Structure 1
């Protein structure tokens, strides 16, 4: 309770005190960057989303009511921002995709494997998931969010979240089985 009161006091101070705003940004910066990177596979886009999320967090801090931890509150803002940025980038790429030849696209580089026995890294499998499935899977398994929390953050029903989680897990299982059956190794 004392921590939440201290967080609320710090957030209120952010309205007029640059030191408080700086303290909030330093405290939450790495967490927001990790969360955005987990949700958005491309580094440039995830960095942009993290910066936008931190700006939103700092600007919204005076409105923080202290009903949860500052980190949980910031996570919700970061997730919403990351989803918005990913959606905007996807729409922008659809508009310009006709101008790009498939041979001009860079192949993704190799990434470290998360576990032995899995042909590719977890990140490589996540990159192949549709955005909606990737988001709920990361929020649930990486961030530890409950189904109701994910529904609130993403703006969809709890049943939709459950369906996306099940579909994402099954899709990853199929990809791993396919790679194991074909002895595929790669990024």
Structure 2
């Protein structure tokens, strides 16, 4: 099995404004810092209905650490599936900003997420956060398809190959129809 890196870019926490009284008001900054991707699965928020449907995870649960409820450094942009699975658990977790997830997780050629055997905390997260769910690999595959379509489009423009252009248009038409359908139901 070929191992593929878990994520191409690591999120950051760059917010340097005043401390806000409601953690929800950080959502725009979190979306930007996490590049509109779940801090735990690297799934793009678009496939979940966009920023509106993404959630804010408290890395250390607010129920157990109320003093951290509005601390930006304790917040993680997260898909609802992971945020709900994590809930108020205080088990071992890797902070998506402070840790290199590529050292703890990898993907196979189908986008399935796996913990590295030597990382006990990754194995814990894999089970607790349900990182094995098929939805994460499907979203990864859709992202990969879109990236390849952009590359193919550039190549077609450079090479001016009519057969490749026709194939690209057929595939991109179906793909874009699907994305329009998703936007319409969001």
TM-score class, shorter-chain normalisation, is under 0.3
Higher strand share: 2
Report the TM-score, using the length of structure 2 for normalisation. 0.27
Higher normalized helix content (fraction of residues)? 1
TM-score, normalising length: structure 1: 0.27
